Amino acid sequence: MTEYDTILAETRGRVGWITLNRPEALNALNTQLMRDVVAAASAFDADPEIGAIVVTGSERAFAAGADIKEMEGKSAQEMLDGDHFGDWALFAAVRTPVIAAVAGYALGGGCELAMMCDVILAADTARFGQPEINLGVIPGMGGTQRLVRAVGYYKAAELVLTGRMMDAAEAERSGLVSRVVPAGDLLAEAEKTAEAIAAKSLPSLFAAKAALDAALESSLADGLRFEKQAFAALFDTADQKEGMAAFREKRAAAFENR
């Protein structure tokens, strides 16, 4: 397994784990951490033995945002030319389902990173927010766009304009998180959920994620067209034949991921 400077990456069964590891900065997302996360996620994504990825932080912080100290002195031109956060688009584009397991702070870029994932499991200690307005800027890694889609305009607008944090219960009520669990159970729940996903057929997982993404990115008519094509295409996989035969024969499916 490759060693990284700012994260820990490991494989457990069919699940790839990425643990953000800059405790001195509450896992603030600097350029190196972005590169490390993208490299690890891309490697997991290319590995047919991996069916789900978990991204997590520490008990205190999932991530407290982009690294303010790294950005502070930059000009507008430098921010645009450097495209300092551009590689996060590669993370958002991985085909494999990604679960964010969030404890503590998920602020600014940390909240935006969680929203690039497909499932957000929150510990009851989790706190979400887009506090960039307090720094004289605005969210820059998708926060104004994905948060509106996740929680609706009025909730998102209040959070982005005031910069206030919401706790895990409010985040769940608002539709930002999939499920809240006691902090001590977070990693076990993430593992259980990831294993349940990773046990499915890989082609159907890729198709499901791509179709879900289409719901956020296209009109209903285009999304339905995409879904119809993706649904039909799966009938040329061995796993569709196996899955349906297993149902008929009243046994568990043995998927071969093809």
- Take residue 81 and report the two structure tokens written for it: 């030319």
Smallest distance from ligand CO8 to CB 112, Å: 6
Nearer of residues 130 and 193 to ligand CO8, judged by Cβ: 130
Query: Is 26 near ligand CO8 (CB under 6 A)?
Result: yes
Nearer of residues 60 and 179 to ligand CO8, judged by Cβ: 60
Query: Is 135 near ligand CO8 (CB under 6 A)?
Result: yes
Q: Does residue 16 come out as left (phi exceeding 0), alpha (psi in the -120 to 50 range) or beta?
A: beta
Query: Is 133 near ligand CO8 (CB under 6 A)?
Result: no
Q: Does residue 211 come out as left (phi exceeding 0), alpha (psi in the -120 to 50 range) or beta?
A: alpha
Site string for ligand CO8, 43-72 (x = CB under 6 A): ---------------------xxxxxx---
Helices assigned H by DSSP within 47-175: 68-71, 76-82, 88-92, 109-115, 143-151, 153-162, 168-174
Catalytic residue set:
66, 109, 112, 132
Smallest distance from ligand CO8 to CB 45, Å: 23
Check if the beta carbon of residue 151 is closer than 8 Å to that of residue 176.
yes
Smallest distance from ligand CO8 to CB 150, Å: 16
Nearer of residues 60 and 225 to ligand CO8, judged by Cβ: 60
Q: List Cα–Cα distances, 121 to 43, 81, 97, in angstroms.
A: 23, 35, 13
Query: Taking CA 111 as the corner, what is the angle to CA 108 and CA 116, rounded to the nearest 5 degrees?
Result: 125
Q: Footprint of ligand CO8 on this chain (CB under 6 A)?
A: 25-26, 28, 64-69, 79, 84-85, 105, 107-109, 131-132, 135, 139-141
